Amino acid sequence: MMNLKSLRNPDLYHGRTGKTFFEGWYFKLVDAGMENAYAFIPGIYYSPNRDYSHSFIQIVDGMKKTYDYLRFPVESFGTEKRIFSLNIDKNKFGIEGLNFNLDRLEVSLIGKIKFSNHNKWPDNFLNPGSMGFYNYIPRMQCYSQVCSMDFDLSGSLDFKGQNIDFGGGKGYIEKNWGSAFPYSWIWIQCNHFQTARASFSCSIGHIPFLFSSFRGFLAGLYVNNDFYEFTSINHSKIEVVSKGSDVIMNFNNSRYRLHVKCKTEYDNFILLNGPLGDKMIPLVQENLQGNLHLELIDLQTGQTIFNDSGRCAGVEYGGKQMMVLD
């Protein structure tokens, strides 16, 4: 069951809170040459129909555009109570790294990746994690948490007979939990820019709440260890407009403006499973080859603080997009 520890540290497992419940962690790893981009998604799903309840590991190869969904018994899932660490069968996931020992007929994945030099989303007791005080509100349909905006990788994986060296690469971690995904959402993430060590994460969702619904958002940008935050919680403003099949977003807070332009190719999207109704079904279109351009402006001085393009961006457009557009 959910406890105060997981409320204060949203990286941790919250525990089943209803008849239908999911919790999943998203690990995105890109090698130093940006030739390999993978997402590994361990998690658990509880359904009112016990036959549909299971734990899982999703493997997304963003460059080859392949996808594997590995199902495990609920009993294969376990977590630590005080630190961000979980396991599914013989595979371990956490803030310190990944350790795979998968040897199935359809998928073999062996190896160990270590994480270091994390850049975390700044928070405090009143606003824990990236979602802030919303974490304290019970029974929301979907919660999210940026566990680590950016970190360094070392180690390698042997995936389906191919050795992939992640030494010198970069990673990103986030998670979602609740009973279902939002009515609609946009998710964009990138930490591979040209001129500076920077990391950007943005989530926009139209979420049911009580007898109504609302559009909530969070966007965070690290540039050379300085953090710029644009969220519903800190009373930032957002404008989202479509440009073809992609979006342009403008964020404003009391001091800064952030202009975000995203570009994707339709053929690079991969269909992933997500929670809907009482089961996990093909639901989520994801792209790990997106391109992004950001411009951050100081409104008081008129100075451009950051103006750069990024590659290997993770991009999702989900649900009824008209609900998140202006």
Do residues 2 and 121 lie in contact, with contact meaning Cβ atoms separated by under 8 Å?
no
Residue pLDDT tens, the chain, 326 long: 445 566 678 999 998 888 999 999 999 999 999 999 999 999 999 999 999 999 999 999 999 999 999 999 999 999 998 999 999 999 999 999 999 999 998 899 999 999 999 999 998 777 777 876 667 777 788 889 999 999 999 999 999 999 999 999 999 999 999 998 887 899 999 999 999 999 999 999 877 666 666 678 999 999 998 999 999 889 999 999 998 889 999 999 999 999 999 999 999 999 999 998 899 999 999 999 999 999 999 999 999 999 999 999 999 998 765 556 66
Domain tally, the chain = 1
Question: Which positions ≥6 away from 312 have C-beta within 8 Å?
Answer: 30, 34, 37, 62, 190, 192, 288, 289, 290
- Measure CA of the first residue to CA of the last residue in the chain; give whole Å: 38
Q: Is 52 helix (H, G, I), strand (E, B) or coil?
A: helix
User: What pLDDT, on the 0 to 100 scale, is given for residue 318?
Assistant: 82
3-class SS at 139?
coil
Q: What is the rounded CA–CA span in Å between residue 254 and residue 246?
A: 27
DSSP secondary structure letter of residue 7 = H
Which element (helix H / strand E) includes 295?
strand 279-298
Residues linked to residue 265 through DSSP beta bridges, in sequence order:
none
> Can you give the length of the chain in residues?
326
Which residues form the domain of 36? 4-323
* Per-residue exposure over 97-130, b if at least 16 CB sit within 10 Å of its own CB, e if not: bbbbebeeeeeebebebebeeebbbebeeebbbb
92: left (phi over 0), alpha (psi -120 to 50) or beta: beta
Whole-number pLDDT of residue 1: 46
Provide the 8-state DSSP code for 145: E
